[in-house]
Chains A and B, each alone.
Chain A
C-alpha cells in the first residue's frame, strides 16, 4: 500500500516537521496567553503581521535573525494592544481578539501595498537554509527528518523546552499558571495579576508572530496574502488538544502536521488524484474540529480563562 510506504520515508517526516514548525511557535504563544487566563484570538492576524514583518525586514537588507526579531517585536506590539484592552480594561476577549486579527491583517496588507505598490508577484528573499547537525543527521530516518531542518525549526523545539521549564520550574511560571487559575491567589501574594497577564499576552503574541515569520522565512521565501490561511485558528484547537501543556501541544502539532503532509502525498498518488483536491485541503480544519470534540470533555481548562480580574471588585 502506497500510504504505508510514505510513512516510512524520511522526506515525509522532514515535511511533517517543517509543517509543524510554525504551528509550534504559534501554539506555544497561545498556550502562554491562555495559561495566564487570556484567550488571544488575535493569533491569526498576528501571524500575518509576523510573516510580513520578518520577510520585509530581510527584504530590506537585514539579516535573517534580525528579521525574526523584527517579526517578534511587531507581534509583541499587537500583543500589547490586545493585553491593554483585555487585561486592565477587561473587555471581551472574543471581540478584542477578532478586532486585533482584523487590524493586524488589514494594516499588514496596507503596509505591503505601500511598500510594494507595483509588483504582481512578490519578490523572494534568501530564506533560512537547512543545517545538518553533525552526527545526529546521520541517524537513519530520524536524522534526515529531525536533524536536517533549518535553524528556525530547531529554535521551535528549543522554545518548547524553555517554555516548559519556565512554566513548571520557576517562580515566574508558577505565577503565570496561578494567574490563569485563580487571579485572586496571585493578588493576595502581593503580585500584580495585570502585569503577569499582560506580560504573558505580549510574549505569547511575539511567539505567534515568529510562527508567521517561519512561513515567509523558512517554509517559503516570500509573502502572499492569505498565506496564514486559518493556521492561527488551528493553533487554538491545538492548545486544547495539548491540554495546555507545552510537550503535549508539541506532540499535537507534529501529529497534525504529519496528517497534513500525508494528505499532500496521498493527493499525488493514483488513488488521491481521483478525489477533488479541496477534499484534502479541508482535512486540517476537519481534523482540528475532531481534536476539539475528542479533547473538550477531558481537558482541564484554566479556571480563570476569559475571566477578567478587577481587584477592586466588590
Chain B
C-alpha cells in the first residue's frame, strides 16, 4: 500500500475518519466493559452522568479540566514547534513548588500582589526546568524526548526529598506534605458558593493568549515555521535554536501554571500526589485538540469528563477506572491515524 495526498479533501473526507475514530474507541471501551461483566450502555450512561449529570459533577469536571488545559497548552505549544516536551509533569511540580516556597508565609503580601507574583515565579520555575533539556538539545543535540521524560522521575524524587526534609510540614503528622499556603495566596472562587476557582479563568485566558500569539505574532510565526520545516526556516534566517529555546520557556511556563493553579486554587499545599499524571494526559489533550490552543479547552473538558465520569462509574459499576485511560490512549492513537486519513488516501499498488 501507499499513501497519496488528497488535494481538495471533501467534507466527508474531513469528518468521517475522526468520527469513526471516536466510534471505534467507544466500541473498544464497550467490549472491555463487557469483559468486566458490565453492561456497556449503563457504563457510558454512568460516565456521562458522573461527568455532566449534576451541578456538582460539572464543577468537578471543570476543576479537573483546569490543570489539563495548562498542560495541554504546554504540550500543544511545544509540539507545534516539534519540540517534544514530555516533561510537563515535572514542570507542573516546579510551579507547585515555587508556589509553596513563596506562598506559605515567605511573602506576606495581600492577594492582589502575591497571586500574580506566585504565578510569575511559577512560570519562571517551569521555564527554567525545561531550559535544561532545551539547551541540551540545541547545544549538544541530545534528544529532548528522553531527557524530559527522565526529568519527570528526577524532579519527583527531588520534590519527595524536599517534602520529607526541609519543606515537611511540622503539623503534618508525619505525612510528606508541605505547609499550607497563607489565605492571601489562595486563588478565590470564581463565583461565591461554587467550588470553582480563578485558575479555570486563568486557563481559558491563557488558551486565548496562546492562540493570539501563535497566529498574530512573529514569535508564533517562527514557532510554526520551525515546527513545519526547520531547514527552510534556518535558510530564511529564522534563528531556529533561539526559537526552540523560547518555545521551551513558554511551554514550561504554561505547564508550571497548572501546578500553581492546583496548589493555590484547590489543594492549598504540596503533596506527592498533587498530579495524577496531568503532565502526561496533557499530551492526549493536545493531540486530540490537533495542537490548536482553543481546541485544547474543548479537549481538556472532554478528557476531564471521562476521568471524572469514570471515577463515579467505577464506584457504581465495579469496572476499574483504568477504562478511562484505555479509552483516551485508544482515542489518541486512532485520532492521529484519522487526521492523517483526512489528508491522504490509501492506495493499493
CB atoms of A and B under 8 A apart anywhere in the complex?
yes
* Bound-complex Cα distance A281 to B266 (A): 30
Contact B4 A110 (CB under 8 A): no
B273: Cβ under 8 A from any A Cβ: no
B270: Cβ under 8 A from any A Cβ: no
Q: How large is the interface on A (under 10, 10 to 19, 20 to 34, 35 or more residues)?
A: 35 or more
* Bound-complex Cα distance A109 to B32 (A): 13
* Bound-complex Cα distance A90 to B340 (A): 9
Contact of A233 among B149, B158, B283 (CB under 8 A): B149
Contact B322 A113 (CB under 8 A): yes
Contact A286 B154 (CB under 8 A): yes
Q: Mark B329-349, 1 if CB is under 8 A from A, else 0.
A: 110110011001000000101
* Bound-complex Cα distance A294 to B143 (A): 12
- Measured between beta carbons, the chain A residues less than 8 angstroms from B158 are 278, 282
Contact of B3 among A85, A286, A312 (CB under 8 A): A312
Within 8 A of B (CB), among A95-148: 95-96, 98-100, 102-103, 105-107, 109-110, 113-114, 117
- Could you say which of B153, B158, B280 has the most chain A C-beta atoms within 10 Å of its C-beta? B153
Within 8 A of B (CB), among A216-256: 229-230, 233-234, 236-237, 240
Contact B84 A94 (CB under 8 A): yes
Of all chain B residues, the one with the shortest Cβ separation from A230 is B153
* Bound-complex Cα distance A100 to B283 (A): 13
* Bound-complex Cα distance A293 to B333 (A): 31
Known contacts A286-B154, A292-B143; is-contact A96 B336 (Cβ 8 Å): yes
- Measured between beta carbons, the chain B residues less than 8 angstroms from A109 are 320, 322, 325
Interface size counted on chain B using CB atoms at 8 A: 49
Contact of A102 among B149, B161, B329 (CB under 8 A): B329
Interface SS of chain A: helix
A41: Cβ under 8 A from any B Cβ: yes
B234: Cβ under 8 A from any A Cβ: no
Within 8 A of B (CB), among A70-97: 81, 85, 88-92, 94-96
* Bound-complex Cα distance A233 to B151 (A): 11
Contact B284 A102 (CB under 8 A): yes
B144 CB, nearest partner CB in chain A, Å: 10
B219 CB, nearest partner CB in chain A, Å: 23
B15: Cβ under 8 A from any A Cβ: no
Contact B4 A230 (CB under 8 A): no
- Measured between beta carbons, the chain A residues less than 8 angstroms from B35 are 114
A-B contact count (CB 8 A): 134
A288: Cβ under 8 A from any B Cβ: yes
Q: Mark B74-108, 1 if CB is under 8 A from A, else 0.
A: 00000000001010000000000000000000000
Contact B2 A98 (CB under 8 A): no
Contact of B2 among A92, A279, A297, A311 (CB under 8 A): A311
Contact A288 B150 (CB under 8 A): yes
A276: Cβ under 8 A from any B Cβ: yes
A162: Cβ under 8 A from any B Cβ: no
Contact B86 A114 (CB under 8 A): no
- Measured between beta carbons, the chain A residues less than 8 angstroms from B326 are 103, 106-107, 110
A310: Cβ under 8 A from any B Cβ: yes
Contact of A85 among B86, B151, B287, B337 (CB under 8 A): B337
A62: Cβ under 8 A from any B Cβ: no
A72 CB, nearest partner CB in chain B, Å: 22
B146: Cβ under 8 A from any A Cβ: yes
Of B134-142, B185-193, B253-261, the stretch lying at the interface with chain A is B134-142
Known contacts A106-B325, A278-B157, A292-B142; is-contact A237 B332 (Cβ 8 Å): no
B182 CB, nearest partner CB in chain A, Å: 27
Contact B332 A94 (CB under 8 A): no
Contact A98 B140 (CB under 8 A): no
Contact B333 A85 (CB under 8 A): yes
Contact A292 B4 (CB under 8 A): no
B162 CB, nearest partner CB in chain A, Å: 9
Q: Mark A176-197, 1 if CB is under 8 A from B, else 0.
A: 0000000000000000000000
B284 CB, nearest partner CB in chain A, Å: 7
Contact B3 A310 (CB under 8 A): yes
B160: Cβ under 8 A from any A Cβ: yes
Contact of A282 among B36, B154, B284, B349 (CB under 8 A): B154
- Give 3 nearest A-B pairs by CB, closest first: A106-B325, A103-B329, A113-B320
Q: List 12 A-B contacts (CB under 8 A).
A: A41-B145, A89-B3, A90-B3, A95-B332, A96-B336, A103-B333, A114-B35, A236-B146, A296-B140, A296-B141, A311-B2, A312-B349
Chain B positions within 8 Å of A, measured between CB atoms, are 1-4, 32, 35-36, 84, 86, 136, 140-143, 145-147, 149-154, 157-158, 160-161, 164-165, 280, 283-284, 287, 318, 320, 322-323, 325-326, 328-330, 332-333, 336-337, 340, 347, 349
